[in-house]
């Protein structure tokens, strides 16, 4: 199955878009906070270091620190002399394991320049973290987490090194942003989900109603629910469907009147034709009247496809196919049954029989014989009417299901009729929730297939 990153439903797209935008906003917020926190750390540690460097330089100029160096490695622990400020004539060595901090060095250099202190070779590094050993009577600084840093600068030919501290709180910031993101997702996505569901539920009902066949005359109004825009849409759809039902009812009444008004003079004409003495002329006129009557029946059937009061029933296709083939065999026509799956469909049996008769008539007329079979593919039952004819071109397959289209153009009833059989079969199949397709078999012949949903 192909993976789709972008959801197809309205609810999915709305939630996905909001979630992505929230993530992007939080990522930007995180970047800005990290940058601000870093500036804060530099300002705190760098400001302290600059103050101590300036103080050390002034004290050295007064002679208070002249000749003193940090002898922490040589003197016993606890007897360092002023370990926070060191002035030496040689560069201050970097302890093993120390991590350079070039950003802090650049920041201190800019602050010294602003303070009119000419400094060169400014360096900064963080000392390796050491486990804290609590001492008796001394309160720890557990509320001030940070790392010790050393800043060294060459001023007036001498090296000044001072100690400072930078805070470390990145984990706290990340934890805060994670909880903030989760809270935003909860506060925003849950209401959006509720609103989207409130919109999508009536929209799904509207979609199902719009997919139903208008010829079924199911004009039951949908319940107007959801936001005002959705309620207005449902109201407009209800009014539109009611107008369609009214138009279809008017069409049926008109067709009934036309059929009655045309059949009556045709029947009267047939009675009068019977009185003609010339047998040849009388036979030709009777054939013409029968063709007109049959064409009228086909046109009315096409116009009324899907209409009527017949209710849908659960029909086993094995029984329906057997009855249909028996009717043809009684009339001496070559219509046989092949493999028929034991499956049932929900349909109007008279209409489905009419569609299958049209297909079987075409198979017998153009292919010599008809073979009826039923196979199941997934949740679809495929009723196949096969013939042994020459088949059809792609252009013929595309056009023959249109009204009045025929493979043989003479319009003679003896060679196929008015060209409405496939159109009627297609409309009936679509009215029952299925489809009609035509395809050539590799070994020759044509398959006309009506596909209908399987009824459990």
Tell me what the pLDDT averaged over the chain comes to.
77
Secondary element (H or E) of residue 200: helix 170-211
Lowest mean pLDDT among 34-43, 272-281, 306-315, 444-453: 306-315
pLDDT at 82: 44
Q: So what's the pLDDT on residue 143?
A: 39
- Return d(Cα 113, Cα 98) in angstroms, integer: 26
Average pLDDT over residues 42-50: 80
- For residue 147, which of 104, 186, 205 has the smallest C-alpha distance? 104
Alpha-carbon gap, residue 103 to 107, rounded angstroms: 6
* The token pair that represents 159 in the structure block: 């090296």
Among 385, 270, 391, smallest CA distance to 336 is for: 385
Q: What is the mean pLDDT of residues 388-401?
A: 78
Question: DSSP character for 415?
Answer: G
**Do the beta carbons of residue 416 and residue 367 sit within 8 Å?**
no
CA distance 434 to 297: 24
What pLDDT, on the 0 to 100 scale, is given for residue 243? Answer: 86
In percent, the amount of the chain with pLDDT more than 70 equals: 79
Q: According to the model, what pLDDT value does residue 444 have?
A: 82
Higher pLDDT, 65 or 345: 345
Question: Are residues 83 and 163 in contact, defined by beta-carbon separation less than 8 angstroms?
Answer: yes
Mean pLDDT, residues 74-103 taken together: 67
Query: What is the structure's pLDDT at 138?
Result: 42
Q: Can you give the pLDDT at residue 385?
A: 93
pLDDT, one tens digit per residue, over 163-196 is 887 766 555 666 777 788 888 888 888 888 888 7
At 218 the pLDDT is 64
Q: Are the beta carbons of 355 and 425 closer than 8 angstroms?
A: yes
Average pLDDT over residues 29-54: 80
Q: What is the pLDDT of residue 452?
A: 93
- Could you give the CA distance from residue 296 to residue 403 in angstroms, rounded to a whole number? 13
- Both tokens of 339, joined, read 């493999």
Give the CA diameter of the chain.
Answer: 152
Q: Rounded to whole angstroms, how far apart are CA atoms 399 and 107?
A: 81
Report in angstroms the alpha-carbon separations of 131 from 41, 128, 134, 147, 259.
22, 10, 10, 12, 103
Convert the pLDDT of each residue in 328-339 to its tens digit.
898 888 899 989
> What is the pLDDT confidence band of residue 70, given thresholds at 50, 70 and 90?
very low
Token pair 């984990």 in the structure block, residue: 171
Q: What's the pLDDT score for residue 343?
A: 92
Long-range contacts for 185-189 (Cβ within 8 Å, ≥24 apart)?
Answer: 185/19, 185/22, 188/18, 188/22, 189/15, 189/18, 189/19, 189/22
pLDDT digits (tens, 9 = 90+) for 1-33: 445 667 777 777 777 888 888 888 888 888 887
Nearest-angstrom CA–CA distance, 207 and 213? 12
* Per-residue buried b or exposed e for 184-207, using 16+ beta carbons within 10 Å of the residue's own CB: eeeeebeeeeeebeebbebbeebe
How does pLDDT run across 255-309, given as a tens digit for each residue?
777 777 777 788 888 888 888 888 888 888 888 888 777 767 766 765 665 555 5
pLDDT above 90 covers a percentage of the chain that reads 9
Top pLDDT among 218 and 166 is at: 166
């Amino acid at each position: 199955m192909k993976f789709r990153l972008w959801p197809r439903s309205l609810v999915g797209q709305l939630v996905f878009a909001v979630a992505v935008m929230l993530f992007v906003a939080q990522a930007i917020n995180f970047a800005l906070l990290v940058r601000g926190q870093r500036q804060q750390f530099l300002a705190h540690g760098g400001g302290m270091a600059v103050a101590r460097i300036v103080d050390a330089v002034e004290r050295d100029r007064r002679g208070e620190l002249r000749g003193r160096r940090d002898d922490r490695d040589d003197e016993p622990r606890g007897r360092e002399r002023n370990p926070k400020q060191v002035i030496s004539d040689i560069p201050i060595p970097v302890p093993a394991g120390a991590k350079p901090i070039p950003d802090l060095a650049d920041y201190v250099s800019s602050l010294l320049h602003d303070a009119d202190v000419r400094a060169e070779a400014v360096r900064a590094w963080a000392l390796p973290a050491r486990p804290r050993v609590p001492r008796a009577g001394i309160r720890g600084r557990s509320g001030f987490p940070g790392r010790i840093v050393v800043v060294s600068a060459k001023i007036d030919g001498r090296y000044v090194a001072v100690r400072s501290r930078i805070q470390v709180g990145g984990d706290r910031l990340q934890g805060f942003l994670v909880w903030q993101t989760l809270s935003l997702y909860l506060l925003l996505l849950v209401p959006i989900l509720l609103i989207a569901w409130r919109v999508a539920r009536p929209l799904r009902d509207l979609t199902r109603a719009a997919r139903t066949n208008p010829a079924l005359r199911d004009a039951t109004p949908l319940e107007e629910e959801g936001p005002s825009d959705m309620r207005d849409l449902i109201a407009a759809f209800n009014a539109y469907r009611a107008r369609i039902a009214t138009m279809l009812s008017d069409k049926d009444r008109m067709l009934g009147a036309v059929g009655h008004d045309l059949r009556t003079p045709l029947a009267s004409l047939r009675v009068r034709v019977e009185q003609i003495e010339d047998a040849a002329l009388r036979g030709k006129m009777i054939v013409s009247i029968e063709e007109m009557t049959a064409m009228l029946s086909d046109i009315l059937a096409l116009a009324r496809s899907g209409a009527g009061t017949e209710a849908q029933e659960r029909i086993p296709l094995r029984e329906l196919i057997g009855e249909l083939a028996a009717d043809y065999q009684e009339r001496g026509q070559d219509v046989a049954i092949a493999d028929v799956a034991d499956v049932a469909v929900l349909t109007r049996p008279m209409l489905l029989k009419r569609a299958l008769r049209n297909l079987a008539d075409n198979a017998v007329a153009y292919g010599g014989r008809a073979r009826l079979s039923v196979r199941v593919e997934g949740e679809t039952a495929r009723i196949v009417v096969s013939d042994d004819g020459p088949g059809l071109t792609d252009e013929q397959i595309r056009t023959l299901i249109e009204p009045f289209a025929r493979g043989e153009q003479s319009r003679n009833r003896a060679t196929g009729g008015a060209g409405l059989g496939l159109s009627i079969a297609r409309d009936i199949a679509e009215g029952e929730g299925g489809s009609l397709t035509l395809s050539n078999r590799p070994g020759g012949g044509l398959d006309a297939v009506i596909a209908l949903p399987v009824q459990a």
